[in-house]
Chain A
Amino acid sequence: MGRYLLRRLLIAIPSLVGISMVLFAVLALAPGDPFGDLALSPDIPPEVRETLRIKFGLDDPLPIRYLRWFVAMLHGDWGFSFASRIDVSRLILERVPTTLLVIGSSQVLALLIALPVGVFAAARPYSLFDQIASAFAFIGFSLPTFFTGLLFILLFSIELHWLPFVYRTDIGGTGWEWYWAHIRQAIMPVAVLGLFQGAAWTRYVRSAVLDVIRLDFVTTARAKGLPERVVIIRHVVRNALIPVVTLVALQMPAVFGGAIITEQIFRVPGIGSLLISSILANDTPVVMAVTFVFACLVILFNLLADLIYGWLDPRITYR
């Protein structure tokens, strides 16, 4: 097990270096200039742009820029934002709590919906409940989040005046009032993301459970006279979870990456909105940092998923 982990971690290093090279090259080749806006202003002489480009080392050859970034990254320095003129790490850290809160709770919501609904639907396939669940699941993952988001705003904010649609991080007040204000503004973005994810996962859980529920060992468990609850939870769900774990684990990095569109619609100051505004502003150090951290998380959670397999299914061993 230990050796396996070590080997996997060592393999991850060259992949991460490769990923960073590709990312860096793509960003460098992409059109656009972080100081392009300056050219639109009649009173800003072109020299200002030149000075800024030299100051931020944008005119150096690509390999040198990459090496500089790589060495800085090894020291834990994520770079310096062109647009905000502050450290990238500060920009990202400022947004981590909101992202984890909103996107994290939406994933929890998705799991809370997908697991029971999927299992219950598979336990009684083609029953009325299964039909309804399937119908809603199809509607859920067919509707894109930008559509449901706007729909929610129209219904709950404009028509009913129940919920605010501008997410604020500076809510005043203390105690319950403060919590309630936070919950109120998070309801819509969390629901939009959670329902979408939940609908997709429900289908996966259902089919995974269906695959397992007909197997002989389940029949045996039932024949032993075990109560149905125990059969489902201990024998069926545990075995059916393996593909689901992969899906969920691979989805976890997205919690960090944020949800670009939903964050934009509700003005949630998460990492997704940071990423999109940085891309629009050609703020390469921020884009680079966010995408690279994202790549690291994907690799990490892949590894984690492999480890969880072993716990769920002892037949899987690591060498």
Chain B
Amino acid sequence: MAVSVGTAGASRHDFVGADAMDEKALRGLVARVKAGRMSRRAFVRKMVGLGLTAPLAWQMLAHSGVARAATAPDYKPTKRGGGGALKVLWWQAPTLLNPHFAVGTKDQEAARIFYEPMAAWDPEGNLVPVLAAELPDLEKGTLARDGKSVTWKIKPDVKWHDGAPLTADDLVFTWEYATDPKTAAVTVGTYKGTTVEKVDALTVKVHFENPTPFWANPFVGQRGNIIPKHLFADYKGDKSRDAPANLKPVGTGPYRFVSFTPGDLVRGELNPDYHVPNQPYFDTIEMKGGGDAVSAARAVLQTGEYDYAWNMQVEDEILKRLEASGKGRVHIAPGGDIEHLQLNTTDPWTEVDGERASIKTKHPLLSDPAVREALAQLVDRESVQKFIYGRTGVASGDFLNNPPRYKSKSPKAEFNIEKANAVLDAAGWKRGADGIRAKDDKRLKFVFQTSINAPRQKTQAVIKQACQKAGIEIELKSVTAAVFFSSDVANTDTYTKFYCDLQMYNTTMPWPDPQPFMDQFVSWEVADKTNKWQGRNVTRWTSDECDKAYRDAMVELDPVKRAAHFIRMNDLVCAAHNVVPIVNRPKVQGIGNSLRCMVTSWDNDLSHLASWYRET
């Protein structure tokens, strides 16, 4: 099985067969580890040797009931406090502090200073317990074998900032609060299809309607923050906006609330009763918001006025120049976000039943696989990385890149103008007098749209130039980001309407599990008039095989087989060339030289705030 993950490529149909063959041997190895005849580390090393990634091997052990040591961030201070002030800079200012109302990451991050979930994600996409006494585990029976329930044990003696103890009632209440439609919480989707039951004072059981392989979503990570029942109980539902605690958070986090100016500043002070010994290190925290990304980078990397800057959406060349001042460094946290080119499967220029790009139509040019293949070969992603994104965009031919356990190993279309020309010649697209190819009076001319953003316009130009050499004419169009990414039903320039031949943007992958990410290629998510273009499938590309792989993954509890389904989806999508991945964009942060912090792209930047410290 491990081998098939490693080399699965040309013959995808062998996959299941290979699976079964190697599975026996693998189960044997796992059994040896269980019996203590093989160390966990040796097992992982062996798996890595077979082409499997370390996190996947760990997950296999975890799934087989072999407990793993939780990743503990390296933390040196030997006492709580004494670290002075921690100053962090967010170039988008937080506007509210209730994690269940937090629309953007800026608000989630500000709330995360004070609130905590049961567990958080580490940089490799593994779970780390926060308020949980331990992670749910198959062997201990806290993770149901049928995937329909998970039991969370709360760490004993955790106190809210006002001194009240954290109990199972708070978790049950958090679930009630978020799922009450009248509360209008943005976390309602996280708890969809779940019921939470109190087992004892420090244990809750989350029941899922369907077998749920991605059980680590409710009470976990950025949307899993737990709020105190005693302060929010009177403000559930309609009255949710009147809760005083919306502006004066009382959580369990490492820092207690001091003051908040919406759109400007959040301040906190050390929580003397924090549930982890010797943490936190800093006496106060200050989160300043507003301004722009470049000057935020300056304040950390060049003048050292601040310790940490979030989301450095700045050209790498500028970052390198600022880094040269020696006051701070740029940290790159690998993630799953992918900047990609989409080729419309439908006809964006003909109106059918009151909408263009209707799923009932076919694109007159792009429905020819040869054209799509040629376009895929005309994207010079290496140059895009080298000259445009630098460290902030890694060239990738895969749509699904991270965590590494989900990365496909099969080869993808490479940049090659000669090949593209050959493919088009073979398909009968002949160059006209103007050098543009045509077939049956149809000229190869496309309109290519994206949002206004310097790196995107440069990438557009790179693609246009290559296309010209292959006899394809490209007309570039750029739309203000506020319009392009809006969900305005009346506007025809939004990316979900896709009234255009080609478009390019970045899709974010907020969770280390691909299920809420790969839904962009299933037939029931196609964006159209009936769902007000809110469907997740924007390319409108569908395939029965892909649908099946997704459906299988939704109920597959074996993490390895599940990963295989997602990898297969990725390969199907990439082989159809309706999506051409360009660069995988990691999270980029600016960190002051003395600050030591663990930052992950699978959770909020501040998800491991308690363990941040300063090296002196």
User: Chain A interface (Cβ within 8 Å of chain B)?
Assistant: 31-33, 35-48, 51-52, 55, 80-81, 83-86, 91, 94, 153, 157-158, 161, 164-166, 168-170, 264-267, 269, 273-274, 277, 280-281
Answer whether residue B188 sits at the interface, using C-beta atoms and an 8 A cutoff.
Answer: yes
Chain A residue numbers with a CB within 8 Å of B295 are 153, 165, 265, 267
**B534 x A39 contact (CB < 8 A):** yes
Give the distance to chain A from B84, nearest Cβ to Cβ, in Å.
Answer: 12
A170-B286 in contact given A91-B263, A281-B95 (Cβ < 8 Å): yes
**A267 x B103 contact (CB < 8 A):** no
Answer whether residue B355 sits at the interface, using C-beta atoms and an 8 A cutoff.
Answer: no
Chain B residue numbers with a CB within 8 Å of A43 are 189-190, 223, 510, 516
B284-308 Cβ-contact flags toward A at 8 Å (1 or 0): 0010101110010011001101100
A31-B534 in contact given A51-B182, A273-B290 (Cβ < 8 Å): no
**A269 x B265 contact (CB < 8 A):** yes
Chain A residue numbers with a CB within 8 Å of B536 are 42
**Interface residues on chain B, number (Cβ under 8 Å):** 56
A166-B241 in contact given A42-B519, A86-B262 (Cβ < 8 Å): no
**A48 x B534 contact (CB < 8 A):** no
A273-B486 in contact given A38-B186, A170-B286 (Cβ < 8 Å): no
Answer whether residue B104 sits at the interface, using C-beta atoms and an 8 A cutoff.
Answer: yes
Chain A residue numbers with a CB within 8 Å of B517 are 42
A170-B488 in contact given A157-B303, A158-B302 (Cβ < 8 Å): no
Which residues between 502 and 518 of chain B lie within 8 Å of chain A, taking CB atoms? Answer: 510, 516-517
**A91 x B186 contact (CB < 8 A):** no
Cβ 8 A contact of B95, one of A42, A47, A84, A265: A84
7 smallest beta-carbon distances between A and B, as pairs = A39-B487, A269-B264, A43-B189, A84-B262, A267-B291, A84-B95, A83-B95
- How far does the alpha carbon of A94 sit from the alpha carbon of B223 in the complex, in Å? 29
- A266's nearest neighbour on chain B, judged by CB, is B291
Most chain B CB atoms below 10 A, which of A40, A164, A165: A40
Given A36-B487, A48-B188, 12 further pairs, Cβ under 8 A: A33-B486, A33-B488, A39-B487, A44-B188, A45-B192, A47-B181, A84-B262, A94-B262, A158-B303, A164-B303, A165-B303, A169-B261
Cβ 8 A contact of A277, one of B98, B101, B223, B263: B263
**B189 x A85 contact (CB < 8 A):** no
- How far does the alpha carbon of A33 sit from the alpha carbon of B305 in the complex, in Å? 36
Answer whether residue B482 sits at the interface, using C-beta atoms and an 8 A cutoff.
Answer: yes
**A264 x B292 contact (CB < 8 A):** yes
Chain A residue numbers with a CB within 8 Å of B182 are 51
Chain B residue numbers with a CB within 8 Å of A158 are 298, 302-303
**B101 x A85 contact (CB < 8 A):** yes
The tally of CB-CB contacts under 8 A between chains A and B is 137
Cβ 8 A contact of B487, one of A33, A45, A52, A265: A33
- B191's nearest neighbour on chain A, judged by CB, is A43
- A273's nearest neighbour on chain B, judged by CB, is B290
**A277 x B261 contact (CB < 8 A):** no
Chain A residue numbers with a CB within 8 Å of B98 are 85
- How far does the alpha carbon of A265 sit from the alpha carbon of B294 in the complex, in Å? 10
Answer whether residue B206 sits at the interface, using C-beta atoms and an 8 A cutoff.
Answer: no
Chain A residue numbers with a CB within 8 Å of B259 are 170
Give the distance to chain B from A140, nearest Cβ to Cβ, in Å.
Answer: 23
B18-62 Cβ-contact flags toward A at 8 Å (1 or 0): 000000000000000000000000000000000000000000000
- B217's nearest neighbour on chain A, judged by CB, is A43
- How far does the alpha carbon of A266 sit from the alpha carbon of B482 in the complex, in Å? 24
21 residue pairs from A and B, CB less than 8 Å apart: A31-B486, A31-B491, A32-B486, A33-B488, A41-B510, A44-B189, A47-B181, A48-B184, A52-B184, A81-B95, A83-B96, A84-B96, A84-B263, A85-B101, A94-B261, A158-B302, A165-B305, A170-B267, A264-B290, A264-B291, A269-B265
Cβ 8 A contact of B103, one of A38, A169, A264: A38
B479-491 Cβ-contact flags toward A at 8 Å (1 or 0): 0001101111011
Chain B residue numbers with a CB within 8 Å of A281 are 95
Answer whether residue B388 sits at the interface, using C-beta atoms and an 8 A cutoff.
Answer: no
Answer whether residue B563 sits at the interface, using C-beta atoms and an 8 A cutoff.
Answer: no
- How far does the alpha carbon of A84 sit from the alpha carbon of B289 in the complex, in Å? 14
Answer whether residue B89 sits at the interface, using C-beta atoms and an 8 A cutoff.
Answer: yes
Most chain B CB atoms below 10 A, which of A41, A43, A45: A43
- How far does the alpha carbon of A164 sit from the alpha carbon of B482 in the complex, in Å? 31
- A47's nearest neighbour on chain B, judged by CB, is B181
Chain A residue numbers with a CB within 8 Å of B491 are 31
B186-223 Cβ-contact flags toward A at 8 Å (1 or 0): 10111010000000000000000000000000000001
Answer whether residue B133 sits at the interface, using C-beta atoms and an 8 A cutoff.
Answer: no
**B286 x A166 contact (CB < 8 A):** no
Chain B residue numbers with a CB within 8 Å of A42 are 510, 516-517, 519, 536
Chain B residue numbers with a CB within 8 Å of A84 are 95-96, 262-263
Answer whether residue B185 sits at the interface, using C-beta atoms and an 8 A cutoff.
Answer: yes
Cβ 8 A contact of A31, one of B89, B263, B288, B483: B483
Answer whether residue B247 sits at the interface, using C-beta atoms and an 8 A cutoff.
Answer: yes
Answer whether residue B93 sits at the interface, using C-beta atoms and an 8 A cutoff.
Answer: yes
Most chain A CB atoms below 10 A, which of B181, B295, B510: B295
Main secondary structure of the interface of B (DSSP, over half): loop
A165-B299 in contact given A264-B292, A269-B265 (Cβ < 8 Å): yes
Answer whether residue B532 sits at the interface, using C-beta atoms and an 8 A cutoff.
Answer: yes
- How far does the alpha carbon of A172 sit from the alpha carbon of B298 in the complex, in Å? 23
B214-241 Cβ-contact flags toward A at 8 Å (1 or 0): 0000000001000000000000000001
Cβ 8 A contact of B89, one of A166, A169, A265, A277: A166
- How far does the alpha carbon of A280 sit from the alpha carbon of B261 in the complex, in Å? 18
A45-B188 in contact given A37-B103, A264-B291, A265-B295 (Cβ < 8 Å): yes
B84-95 Cβ-contact flags toward A at 8 Å (1 or 0): 000001000101
**A267 x B290 contact (CB < 8 A):** yes
Cβ 8 A contact of B490, one of A31, A168, A264, A269: A31
Chain B residue numbers with a CB within 8 Å of A91 are 262-263
Chain A residue numbers with a CB within 8 Å of B185 are 48
A51-B184 in contact given A33-B486, A33-B487 (Cβ < 8 Å): yes
Answer whether residue B246 sits at the interface, using C-beta atoms and an 8 A cutoff.
Answer: yes
Chain B residue numbers with a CB within 8 Å of A80 are 241
Which residues between 94 and 134 of chain B lie within 8 Å of chain A, taking CB atoms? Answer: 95-96, 98, 101, 103-104
Give the distance to chain A from B121, nearest Cβ to Cβ, in Å.
Answer: 15
- How far does the alpha carbon of A288 sit from the alpha carbon of B378 in the complex, in Å? 48
**B306 x A32 contact (CB < 8 A):** no
**B291 x A265 contact (CB < 8 A):** yes
- How far does the alpha carbon of A237 sit from the alpha carbon of B449 in the complex, in Å? 59
Chain A residue numbers with a CB within 8 Å of B516 are 42-43
A280-B265 in contact given A39-B534, A85-B246, A166-B89 (Cβ < 8 Å): no
Most chain A CB atoms below 10 A, which of B96, B490, B536: B96
Give the distance to chain B from A153, nearest Cβ to Cβ, in Å.
Answer: 7
**A269 x B261 contact (CB < 8 A):** yes
**B189 x A32 contact (CB < 8 A):** no
**B188 x A269 contact (CB < 8 A):** no
Chain A residue numbers with a CB within 8 Å of B186 are 38, 41, 44, 48
- How far does the alpha carbon of A43 sit from the alpha carbon of B290 in the complex, in Å? 27
A273-B263 in contact given A37-B104, A264-B291 (Cβ < 8 Å): yes
- How far does the alpha carbon of A52 sit from the alpha carbon of B261 in the complex, in Å? 23
Give the distance to chain B from A248, nearest Cβ to Cβ, in Å.
Answer: 29
Chain B residue numbers with a CB within 8 Å of A153 are 295, 298
- How far does the alpha carbon of A168 sit from the alpha carbon of B287 in the complex, in Å? 11
A166-B486 in contact given A48-B188, A83-B95 (Cβ < 8 Å): no
Chain A residue numbers with a CB within 8 Å of B485 are 36, 40
- How far does the alpha carbon of A48 sit from the alpha carbon of B286 in the complex, in Å? 31
Chain B residue numbers with a CB within 8 Å of A85 are 96, 98, 101, 241, 246
Which residues between 529 and 576 of chain B lie within 8 Å of chain A, taking CB atoms? Answer: 531-532, 534, 536
Give the distance to chain A from B83, nearest Cβ to Cβ, in Å.
Answer: 16
